[in-house]
Amino acid sequence: MHPQYLISGRNQSGYVNLRRDTAAAALKKARELLQEDHLDVRISTPRGRVLSPEEFDQLEA
């Protein structure tokens, strides 16, 4: 089992927790959640770092 990126957020219906295999896929899903008006969107890296939307660009570097 290889490390995965975890994406979380919440909306009026509740919380969502998703997994993606790559940073690019995690960024794409996190941005989709933001566009769908989810709040508290975060990406957790395989090394345990938790990124908020204003830090997402650090994953692209």
Provide the 3-class DSSP secondary structure of residue 35: helix
| The pLDDT of residue 1 | 62
Q: What are the φ/ψ torsions at residue 59 (nearest 5 degrees)?
A: -75, -30
Q: Kindly report the length of the chain.
A: 61
- Token pair listed for 37: 């008006």
Element (H, E) at 30: helix 23-35
Query: Which amino acid, residue 7?
Result: I
| The pLDDT of residue 59 | 86
pLDDT in tens, the chain (61 residues): 677 999 999 999 999 999 999 999 999 999 999 999 999 999 999 999 999 999 999 886 5
